[in-house]
A and B are shown apart, each in its own frame.
Chain A
Amino acid sequence: MTSTVVTERSDDHRRGDSADPDLVGGTRNGPPVLSRGAVLTTRVVGVAAVVGVAFTVWLGLWVTPPDKVQGNLVRLVYIHPGVAWVALYLAFGLAAVASLLYLWPRTRSLFWDRLAAAAVEVGVVFNVCTLISGSIWGRPTWGVWWAWDARLTSTAALLVLFLGYMALRRVPAEPEVRAKRSAFAALFAALDVPIVHFSVVWWKTLHQGATVLNANLSPTIHGSMAWTLLLGFVALTLVFVWMLLVRYRIGVLEDWVGSGELDLALRERQAEGIAPPVAPADVQPAPPAPAETPAGREAPREIAEVSQ
C-alpha cells in the first residue's frame, strides 16, 4: 500500500482543499493529499501494528505455557478474541457512531459517511477472520467446525447484514441519499452487535462465555497468557486503525475520481452539443486525448499507485 505517494504534491493543491467542501482534502487541480502529520501517523501506526503482531505471535507460540485443559490449542486465544473485538466493537461500533453523527443534523458531514463505510469494510474483513479463526479453533476443541448456536449464528448474521450495507452503497444514488440510507442500514445492522455479545449470557450456547469482558470484568486467564492476550488486542487494534486510515484515504480518492469522471462527461456532452454537424466525408481520425482533462484536472497518476 503506497498511500503516501499521493502526498508528494505541491502545497498549492493542499490550499485548494477548502474550495471544494464535497471532497475532504480534494482539489480541482489534483488528487486530495495527506498532510505530513497524517502520513507520519499512518506510518507509525502501521509499523507499531506489525511490531505488535510479531510480538504477539512470538509470545503466543513460544513464550506462553500450554493450557491445563486445551494444551497447545489455547494459542488461538491470542488471535481469535482480538479479531472479534476489532470486528464487533471497534469497526461496527465506530460505523454505528459515525452513522449516527451523519444523521444528526448538527454534525452531518460526508466525513462521517466515508468513515462509516471504511469502518464497515475493514470490519467485514475482521468478521470473516473471526468466523474462520473460530472455526479452526472449534474443530479440535469442540469437535465440530460449526454449530448453529446463538453466538455463531448471530455472528454470521452480522456478516450478512454488513455485506448488505456494502451492497447498498453500490446502488447508484446521490452521495447524500446514499449516505443517509447507508447510515440507517448501519444502525440497523449494528443492532446485532449486542445480541452477539450477550448471546452467551441470554441463551445456552456451545460457545464459551467472555473471558475478559465478562460480568465481573475480571479476566479468568493466568499471568503471561493474560498479558499476551492483552497485547494481541492492542496489536489488532493498531492493525484496524492502520487499515481504517488507508481505506478512508482510498474512499476520498474514489470520490475524487468519481467527481472527475462526472466533470469530464459533462464537458464532453456540452462540447458535442455546441459542435457543428460534420458531413460523413469530412470525418477525420480523432486526435489523441490531451493529458489534461477539460475540467482542468490533471490525470490522477498517483491514484493507480495507491492500489498497488
Chain B
Amino acid sequence: MTTAPAVDQASPAAPGPPRAPLSERASHRVRYVLVGAVLVGALGFLLFKGLGTALNFYLPVNQAVHQRSSLGDRTFNLEGLVVPGSIHPTPQGVDFTLSAGGQTMRVVNDGSPPQLFQNDIPVIAVGHFAAGEFSSNQIMVKHSANYIAQNPGRVTAPNGTKR
C-alpha cells in the first residue's frame, strides 16, 4: 500500500492526536506473545506426541514377540488379524487370538470391543504382556480402505464363489 509510509513521514510534523497509550501498546504486544506462545505450545505438544508414539503407533504380533524381553510389562499397542473362531466372550470382556507375520498371541481383553470387532479383521489391542498372553483394556478396529457393497441377495455357487 503506497499510503502507509506517509504515516511515518507525517507523524513528526503533525501535532495530531497522541499515539495509543503505552499500556495499550503493551497489552497488544502481550496479546501477540500469548497467541504465539499458545500456538508454539500446541505445535510442540503435537510434535512431542507424534514423535513419542505416533510414528510407532503399534507393533505387529511378530515384532512384539521378538521384542518381548525388552518390552517387559510396558503398555503398548499390539496389532494383528483376529484369528477366525478364536473369539470367546468372557464376563470381563472378550478373549481372542491375534496373528501377524506367522506369529500368534492370545489376547485377554477387559471391556467391550467396538461394534465392528469380528473374525478376520485387523485390530489393535492396548495393553501389556502378562505371563503367556497379552492383557489389554482397549481394542481399536483397524479397518481397511476397501469398500465393498453389502449384498445379502448373493448366493454361493457350487464352486464356492459368491454370485
Contacts and interface: CB of A to CB of B under 8 A. Distances in A.
A262 B3 contact: yes
Interface string B137-163: 011111111111111000000000000
Contacts of B147: 67, 70, 74, 77, 211, 220-222, 225
Interface of A: 22, 64-71, 73-74, 77, 140-144, 147-150, 152-154, 156-157, 160-161, 163-164, 167, 171, 174-175, 203-206, 208-211, 214, 220-225, 255, 258-259, 262-263, 265-266, 268-270, 272-273
Contact of B57 (A175, A205, A269): A205
26 contacts: A22-B1, A65-B150, A68-B149, A68-B150, A69-B121, A69-B148, A141-B141, A142-B141, A142-B143, A147-B57, A147-B140, A150-B50, A150-B55, A153-B46, A160-B42, A164-B39, A203-B56, A203-B57, A204-B59, A204-B60, A208-B143, A223-B149, A225-B149, A263-B3, A265-B7, A270-B16
Contacts of B93: none
Contact of B140 (A150, A206, A222, A273): A206
A204 B141 contact: no
A210 B115 CA distance: 23
Interface of B: 1-7, 10-11, 13-17, 32, 35-36, 39, 42-43, 46-47, 49-50, 53-60, 79, 113-117, 121, 124, 138-151
Contacts of B2: 22
B115 A266 contact: no
A233 B16 CA distance: 55
Nearest to A202: B55
Given A209-B145, A262-B3, A160 B50 contact: no
Contact of A161 (B7, B43, B59, B115): B43
Contact of A175 (B4, B47, B149): B4
A215 to B, nearest CB: 11
> Which 9 pairs between the two chains have the least Cβ-Cβ distance?
A143-B114, A269-B16, A153-B50, A208-B145, A149-B57, A221-B147, A273-B14, A65-B149, A220-B146
A54 to B, nearest CB: 22
A211 B147 CA distance: 9
Contacts of B140: 142-144, 147, 206
B123 to A, nearest CB: 9
A182 B59 CA distance: 40
Contact of A273 (B4, B13, B56): B13
A273 B142 contact: no
A153 B14 contact: no
B102 to A, nearest CB: 18
A209 B117 CA distance: 19
Given A148-B57, A167-B39, A259 B151 contact: no
A220 B116 CA distance: 20
Nearest to B118: A69
Nearest to B3: A262
Given A140-B114, A204-B79, A269-B10, A67 B150 contact: yes
- Looking at B1, B11, B56, B151, the one whose CB has the most chain A CB atoms below 10 A away is B1
A247 to B, nearest CB: 20
Contact of B43 (A69, A148, A160, A211): A160
Contacts of A154: 50, 54
A73 to B, nearest CB: 8
A80 to B, nearest CB: 12
A174 B1 contact: yes
Contacts of B10: 266, 269-270
